[in-house]
Structure 1
Amino acid sequence: MGSAYELLVPSLPEAARVERGYVTPQQVYNLLNAEDGQPALFDPHYILILDCRSAERYKENHVVTARAAVTVIHPELACLISSTQLRNYSVILLYAQQGSSPVGSVKAKADSLDLQRCFFQLSALGMDPVILLGGFSAFSALYPFLCTPRMVLLEHEHRTLTIYPSEILEGALYQGSASQAADYRIIKNLHITHVVNATTNCPDAFPNTLCYLRLHLSDNSQQDLVEALPLASKFISAALKAEPGGRVLVHCSLGKSRSSAVTLAFLMEHRRWSLLNALRWLKERRACSAPNINFLSQLLTYEEQLFGSRLTSLEDIHR
């Protein structure tokens, strides 16, 4: 951890170079696995995913919960579901097989004429659809476990889906719940090698297979983080630098408070971000993150220790 002789120089998170109207595969992964109280994907009106490829490719494999675009936006019949129904969705996502050309460009039409048609028809109805950058090929290469030949459309079918931890640093750092940390399919699919267990009562699920750091933290106003934060940051940093590169899952009971404090401390120390910038980064990837007021106060102190001065205030955080 920083001292008076080795204070860190703060830096800013690199801005994502994504054109408006596009989302990255990682953003789609986190949209599919968002939760607050219960998984967002369990709400049938949370996200409408339209597969703008051929019917054959859709039947072969598609992003989980996706519908064939032709079943919603027909070339001749136009929109097959009402604009009122469409407005019920929080997110409307379109994807082709591949492609990342600006909407409306000649190259984009060559990438997928069907996707362009769907985009402009939905826009004309007052919708604000987004397009998956790189298409299905980019998403399925990173997240094959979130692709399926099965149609998953009904609410009870949504409730059978596996919800994965949030991806905080792409292909490296994840944050989630104790139940996710105990699901071997999740561990295997994400290639997790190291786990930070920030609970008092959840046992390490796979001690013979994974490397664990057990912190024994309570989510209350008395819990002291002075030893835990630098210890966890050092553990995560060493894991990510391991050869071949490690992948770390940080978890507490629900993946909201204790795990967030650990993740934020790591981002502050090893990305040299202020608490405010680290918190914004985390919230963009895991909206349910909510370290308790005691942890936030201690993270402000940690920030001062790392950088030599307070860069963030509680007022900044609650704005």
Structure 2
Amino acid sequence: MGVVTSRVGRCLTEPARELRHHSAPYRESNGTANCPALPCAQPQSQGPWEVLTPAVPERPQVERGYVTAQQVYNLLNAEAGEPALHNPNYILILDCRSAERYHGHTDCQTHCHTYKQCHLVTARASLTVLHPELGCLITQGQLQEYSIILLYAEEGHSPVGSEAARLDSPTLQRCFFQLSSLGMDPVILLGGLSAFRRLYPFLCTPRMVLLEPERRALTIYPSEILEGALYQGSAAQAQDYRIIKNLHITHVVNATADSPDAFPSVLRYLRLRLSDDTQQDVGEALPLAARFIAGALQGGGGRVLVHCSLGRGRSSALTLAFLMEHRRWPLCHAYRWLQERRGCAAPNAGFLRQLAVYEERLFGQRLTTLEDIRL
């Protein structure tokens, strides 16, 4: 159990240094209204592009046995096969706080931001699964059916098993080692519920959501590719205003051939009418999307949703183009980063070939072997 990452290809990188390059000029693409050029962090030029120096993504250092709030958000909303939240056997979430905190009784209201955010959606009180004295209340076989077992307290940053952790969250530590003794591999939410609730209050609830019909009524959110900035999802999610509002989306890249821009009066759109076909030419779409996203995120005020029909192929190609150009990540690194956050991301072979050409255009050489990143 645990967070599984995908295999990716080999690539060459050089030490990062100060970068300057020229972006392709922005052109109107939705065919419905004039859209002025967005601000861009890099100088514009009509001449040839300068070669970028590749960089390696900086990953947060997380203690073994912990997962971040963003990882949990993406795990809950994962859409490989079926949405994870809809699958009762995918993730078991155990709330290791007091019963009063879990249920949101009166004394909980002084600790929760609001009464309606008293536990993480689908979480169960740990006492309903693991009794601190009598042991496991469900069979070891049932526990083994879960791909992930997640534990959380109100807060929590100390290494598992440390004296500080035992003092901060004794129930959580007891559950962790009890599960470990049964052969499980539980993980702990870094920062506890307070860290998750601060970022994703809409995925916290006072209700018990355990049965499959209740789970299937839950909203599935787009994957978070860059925390608080860049999201990737489906056309249905882009048309759900509750999702748009909860994620504070300001800009949308619509890569579908026929899904309309749902909220043109309140959001800024880039419309790229693409088909999910290996013969689809995305040579012009890649830099257009990359520049649109970069302009929206400049200054930290915007949030962008990139979508196609299912959020797998066309949207992945556009997201990868942005990560390559504006994060200076070679295709292999960008692809791994994306798949770690959206496991169902799967640009088709034609898109991958064109992304490899784009990589060579950006960095002056091929850095990724496509055969090594194809699943």
Query: SS of the counterpart of 1:233?
Result: helix
**1:37, 1:164 → 2: CA distance?**
15
Does the aligned pair in 1 maintain the 2:130–2:137 contact within 8 Å? Answer: yes
Alignment-derived partner of residue 26 in structure 1:
70
**2:145, 2:372 → 1: CA distance?**
33
Alignment-derived partner of residue 270 in structure 1:
326
- 1:315 Cα shift? 1.9
**1:127, 1:112 → 2: CA distance?**
19
- 1:222 Cα shift? 1.7
Deviation per CA, 1:152-194: give whole Å up to 9, x if none.
Answer: 0011111000000000000000000000000000000000000
- 1:38 Cα shift? 2.3
**1:5, 1:106 → 2: CA distance?**
55
**2:70, 2:84 → 1: CA distance?**
16
Alignment-derived partner of residue 225 in structure 1:
282
Match of 2:167 among 110, 129, 136: 110
Alignment-derived partner of residue 93 in structure 1:
150
**1:146, 1:128 → 2: CA distance?**
24
Using CA pairs below 8 Å that are at least 6 residues apart, which structure has the higher relative contact order?
2
Deviation per CA, 1:50-86: give whole Å up to 9, x if none.
Answer: 0000001101110000000011110111110000000
Alignment-derived partner of residue 184 in structure 2:
127
Match of 1:279 among 328, 335, 339: 335
Query: SS of the counterpart of 2:373?
Result: helix
| Aligned structure 1 segments of 4 or more residues deviating by more than 3 angstroms | 1-5
Match of 2:258 among 167, 188, 201: 201
Q: Give the alignment of 1:43-192 within 5 angstroms.
A: 43-60=87-104, 61-192=118-249
**2:245, 2:213 → 1: CA distance?**
26
Partner letter of residue 189 of structure 1? N
Match of 1:296 among 352, 359, 365: 352
Match of 1:15 among 52, 59, 72: 59
Q: CA RMSD in A?
A: 1.1
Match of 2:310 among 245, 254, 267: 254
TM-score (norm 2): 0.83
Does the aligned pair in 2 maintain the 1:4–1:308 contact within 8 Å? Answer: no
**1:264, 1:30 → 2: CA distance?**
18
**1:195, 1:5 → 2: CA distance?**
26
- 1:11 Cα shift? 0.3
Partner letter of residue 294 of structure 1? G
Which has a greater percent of helix?
Answer: 1
Deviation per CA, 1:62-112: give whole Å up to 9, x if none.
Answer: 000000001111011111000000000000000000011011111001110
Larger Rg: 2
Does the aligned pair in 1 maintain the 2:225–2:232 contact within 8 Å? Answer: yes
**2:306, 2:81 → 1: CA distance?**
19
TM-score (norm 1): 0.98
Q: Structure 1 unaligned runs (5+)?
A: none
Relative to structure 1, is the Cα distance of residues 51 and 317 closer, same or farther in structure 2, using a 3 angstrom cutoff?
same
- 1:41 Cα shift? 1.7
Instruction: Say how many residue pairs are matched.
Output: 318
Query: SS of the counterpart of 1:168?
Result: strand
- 1:40 Cα shift? 1.9
Does the aligned pair in 1 maintain the 2:49–2:362 contact within 8 Å? Answer: no
Query: SS of the counterpart of 1:35?
Result: coil
- 1:318 Cα shift? 2.8
**1:221, 1:71 → 2: CA distance?**
50
Percent of aligned positions that are identical = 72
Partner letter of residue 210 of structure 2? L
Query: SS of the counterpart of 1:195?
Result: strand
